[in-house]
Structure 1
Amino acid sequence: MPLYLPPVPEPVSQCVNAALGSSAVPGALRPASWTESGGSLVAEHPLPVHVLGPEPAGGGLPGARLTGWRFLVRGSDGLVAAAETALTPAGWVFSHFSGGPYLASTERALCQSEALGGDHQPRLLSVPGLYMVCLWLHGDTGADDSAGPLPADVLIPLAPAPPGIAAHRPYRAADLLPLLAVRLTPAPLLDRAV
């Protein structure tokens, strides 16, 4: 399946490349694997990061808003970090470097997506309330960053996924998003008689 990467805004690329080349970035912001990698570091696989919005009052799929871009950072020994940008009122800025299981899981999901049929635009969908991230394969390859999930879009939860949701299993957005909406809805308080 062809993946159609959305165009990366030039300010996003500039701030990530500046951060990779900067000695001013404190060591505490760099994952431990960074210093062990040696050699040059390359930012690759830029993916727009969207945060899942609330379920619309009238029903339907929840929307998603663009909050940043995440690049996988590769050193001579493989993936060493992710470089993240954020959208602020002043424009795009470098946010932070991160490590952890989502690095390898993102790469695995991208490889996995090649076996699926159809054309897709890859994105990341963050669900902060569930500590969850999915590779989101948007079916409209020409869509801009503001387009929300479509029912036939494919979501691949990254590992670790919340209990009851299989990591690296492709789900249709129409099937997974309502399940996530239920989990995100606060339980009503019970009337307690005193």
Structure 2
Amino acid sequence: MPLHVPPAPAPALRSVLTALGSPTAVREARTPSLLSAQGPVTPELPLPVHVLESVSAKGVPATRLAGWRFLIRCGDRAVAAAETMLTPDGWAFSHFFEGPYVRSTEQALHQAETTLTQTYQPRLLSVPGLYMLTLWLHGGYAADGATGVPAATDLLVPLAPAPPGIAANRPHRVADLLPVLTLRTTPPPLLGSPA
């Protein structure tokens, strides 16, 4: 099995289960697919969501853990996702959502599971400067999912929709994609003062 999904903090899972059991939370979520789900819904595949904060001059990325995302499954497919966040009181439910990233996350996980031969730990890496989300396949599959930075040999799979010029659903080595992301998120130099 090439993917080793890290365990989510128990309070994060409990908060999602509580929200799923709350008719008010589900009704106010504005997720039609979750509201119309026929049958039981279950949170699965907890993925830590890391945010790319910066990249040093030497190309070393700095990330921070933003939360845990659970795909909400009904039957044989994910119909929504639930996000949790860390508060001063611990892990708490944040919100439900649906949209293209739910399906593309499920698709990228399935593709990795069926095509890769090396074992990876799946995570999500958000690149806010490009409005981009990637499936981060971390080679340290036994590591704590809440810590660490992308290693040069890790894989990033941009999820659809990806920014123009970046192929979605295709694995890229961090060493190859990170310079492209850095270039695109770095503001252009100032050209000097007007005459």
The answer to whether TM tops 0.5 is yes
With the length of structure 1 as denominator, give the TM-score of the two structures: 0.94
User: How many Å separate the matches in 2 of 1:174 and 1:88?
Assistant: 33
The equivalent of 1:70 in structure 2 is: 69
- Determine whether 1:97 maps to 2:96: yes
Bigger Cα displacement from structure 2, 150-159 vs 112-121: 112-121
- Determine whether 1:183 maps to 2:188: no
Q: Which whole-Å deviations, capped at 9, do the CAs of 1:62-109 have from their partners, x for residues lacking one?
A: 122111011111124732210000112322110101110011100110
The equivalent of 2:24 in structure 1 is: 24
- Determine whether 1:6 maps to 2:6: yes
Q: Please report how far the alpha carbon of residue 54 of structure 1 lies from its aligned counterpart in structure 2 after TM superposition.
A: 0.5
Q: After superposition, where does 1:103-114 map in structure 2 within 5 Å?
A: 103-114=102-113
The equivalent of 1:128 in structure 2 is: 128
Q: Please report how far the alpha carbon of residue 6 of structure 1 lies from its aligned counterpart in structure 2 after TM superposition.
A: 1.0
The equivalent of 1:168 in structure 2 is: 169
- Which runs of 5 or more residues in structure 2 are unaligned? none
Evaluate the alpha carbon distance shift between residue 34 and residue 173 of structure 1 in structure 2; reply closer, same or farther with a 3 A threshold.
same
- Report if aligned partners of 1:86, 1:94 keep a CA contact under 8 Å in 2: yes
- Which runs of 5 or more residues in structure 1 are unaligned? none
Secondary structure of the residue that 1:24 maps to in structure 2? helix
With the length of structure 2 as denominator, give the TM-score of the two structures: 0.93
- Determine whether 1:54 maps to 2:82: no
Q: Please report how far the alpha carbon of residue 190 of structure 1 lies from its aligned counterpart in structure 2 after TM superposition.
A: 2.2
Deviation >6 Å, runs of 4+: none
- Report if aligned partners of 1:3, 1:119 keep a CA contact under 8 Å in 2: yes
Q: Which whole-Å deviations, capped at 9, do the CAs of 1:28-78 have from their partners, x for residues lacking one?
A: 323111122222111111111000120124x13312211101111112473
Q: Please report how far the alpha carbon of residue 20 of structure 1 lies from its aligned counterpart in structure 2 after TM superposition.
A: 0.6
The equivalent of 2:147 in structure 1 is: 146
User: How many Å separate the matches in 1 of 2:89 and 2:159?
Assistant: 31
User: How many Å separate the matches in 2 of 1:67 and 1:83?
Assistant: 13
User: How many Å separate the matches in 2 of 1:11 and 1:74?
Assistant: 20
- Determine whether 1:39 maps to 2:34: no
